[in-house]
Amino acid sequence: MSVIEEMVKDRDSAVKRCEEAYAEAEKLQDTLHDVITFVDPKEQLEHLPENGLMRGVPIGIKDNVNTKGILTTAGSAILANYVPIYNAAIVDKLKDAGAVCIAKTSMDELAMGGTNLTCFKGPAYNPWDVKRMTGGSSGGSAAMVAAGTVAMAIGSDTGDSVRKPAAFCGVVGVKPTYGRISRYGVVPYASSLDHVGYFTRSVKDACISLQVLAGRDDRDMTSSYRPVPDYLAELNSDLHGKKIAVIGNVVENLGNQDTLKMFNDLMDQLKSRGAEVDVYQFDEDLMKAILPTYYLIANCEATSNDSNLDGVRFGMRQDGADMKEIMTNTRTKGFGPLIRRRFVIGSYGLFQENQERLFRKAQKVRRLVVDAMMECFKSYDCLIAPASGDIAPLIDEKQDQDQLSEDYLVAENYMAMGNFSGCPSMTVPMGFEQGCPLGVNLTCRAFEESTMFGIARAIEEITGYEDLHAEVK
């Protein structure tokens, strides 16, 4: 029985469990710094539904998800005083299922980042080694789950912002199919790439969580009409007949041979369980183009989406002599340096004279990447590769990483393929180095989450990393 199943079964302990989780989160805050706003569970506990798949389960929610009457900053000073007047669709779904939110979690500013170092409240720290980063942008949620404080936490994933923190923090991180979960009420980053995702400590709990979160929402026109399966009932770890493609470009660019050996050993064990595992090569130039393509599309869309953060309609406001000066002063002081740089890139890409040369070209490259994935999926059920070449970087060493090196360009950025295509993708723990976790990433065809969960469950059975969590020091 999974953690969530055990909690739901133990109905009598719901109040005590959530209050203890809240107290534990407060206790760990000075060490992990993974929370932006604590949410007292008392009122929620007074209105628990009689039944629900997550009744009495303490959870965290990333701070770019609107929560009515509760501060929602998206990790940015420009929204430091923003209190929504409505809930995001997923907040209502979680409430109806009986989940109890105890925290709005730390995140990179406006979800733009992969470190969780750019939050206006300061960085979040990795529960396995607090000198190391959590990854981002959903690092606070990953840290809460990894520390054992909550059973599930919401994140968002635009490039790998759930799956990379999951790898660094040793938990399960899921980005479902585009449209599987409504994004209504989630502060947007890049609308064609954004996915609601989440973290758990087991594949079974990942199945339960998706059943709660998924479904059509007329307020989000990109959400799917497809029926929501009972993912837990369909969970099947039998690998006979499954064809798995190892992304050769990624493993060939891994600099850490210990990670490569760990991954290859895992592939051998998948074969021994009946899976057909082959190395599959994508065009190398196409793989190297993923990161610049992602940056251009994401930053252009973000520049458009965040144009309403001007200090006039809501959020923090700086004084000025006229409307233009108010907006200029607000955005200059309200955004951190990384965000301002990204808006410069996005604005440049959206200049009329640059749209065809840059933005439209990036969209064409994205289509080539997706076409290459679809060609692979004609023969294989799943794409697989290490989620990261190394354990979480030391916070003080991040700036030394060469982002244009061959290994970083491909091995650390390929997971954006799942956002380009909208295909479901997830990371599960694979092993440990230096006492810190490493993860393996799986991507399957659109709406084939059940297949993805089955292969992930087989990996979990092989590694024994179910309900993995850190003893925070």
Query: What 8-state DSSP symbol labels residue 395?
Result: G
Q: Residue 465 is inside which H or E element, if any?
A: none
Strand order in the sheet with 425-433: 35-38, 100-105, 58-62, 152-157, 195-200, 172-175, 425-433, 436-444, 382-386, 243-247, 276-280
Q: How high is the pLDDT of residue 131? A: 97
Q: Check pLDDT > 90 for residue 380.
A: yes
- Cα–Cα dist 424/442, whole Å: 8
Interval 79-106 mean pLDDT = 98
SS3 of residue 437 by DSSP: strand
Residue 391 has a pLDDT of 98
Neighbouring-strand partners of residue 116: none
Least Cα distance to 302 among 159, 446, 463 occurs for: 159
CA distances from 359 to 190, 352, 370 (A): 13, 10, 17
* Residue 306 CB burial class (10 angstroms; 0-12, 13-18, ≥19): buried
Q: Look at residue 155 and give its three-state secondary structure.
A: strand
The domain spans of the chain are 3-237+424-463
How far is residue 33's CA from residue 124's CA, in Å, rounded to a whole number? Answer: 5
- Residue 311 confidence (pLDDT): 87
Separation between Cα atoms, residue 34 and residue 98, nearest integer Å: 23
Query: What are the C-alpha distances in Å from 153 to residues 105, 177, 227, 334?
Result: 9, 18, 24, 27
What is the CATH architecture of 3-237+424-463? Answer: Alpha-Beta Complex (3.90)
Which of 242, 238, 233, 231 is CA-nearest to residue 198? Answer: 231
Q: Which of 137, 133, 29, 150 is nearest to 76 (CA)?
A: 137
- Catalytic amino acids? 62, 137, 161
Q: Residue 400 contacts by C-beta under 8 Å, 6 or more apart in sequence?
A: none
Instruction: With cut-offs at 50, 70 and 90, classify the pLDDT of residue 402.
Output: low
* Residues in contact with 285: Cβ distance below 8 Å, sequence separation at least 6, in sequence order: none
pLDDT tens digit sequence for 42-76: 999 999 999 999 999 999 999 999 999 999 999 99
57: DSSP letter: -
Q: Is the dihedral of CA 249, 255, 256, 257 positive or negative?
A: positive
Q: What are phi and psi of 138, to 5 degrees?
A: -95, 35
For 352-378, what is each residue's pLDDT tens digit?
999 999 999 999 999 999 999 999 999
Q: What average pLDDT does range 180-186 have in this prediction?
A: 98
What is the C-alpha end-to-end distance of the chain, expressed in Å?
Answer: 28
Q: Reduced to 3 states, what is the DSSP secondary structure of residue 303?
A: helix
Task: Output Rg (C-alpha) for the chain, integer angstroms.
Answer: 21
User: Which residue, among 194, 141, 196, has the nearest Cα to 166 in the 3D structure?
Assistant: 141
What pLDDT does 401 receive? Answer: 53
pLDDT over threshold 70, residue 400? no
| Torsional sign, CA 413, 414, 420, 423 | negative
- What is the pLDDT at residue 228? 98
Mean pLDDT of all residues in 184-188: 98
Per-residue pLDDT of 142-159, as tens digits, reads 999 999 999 999 999 999
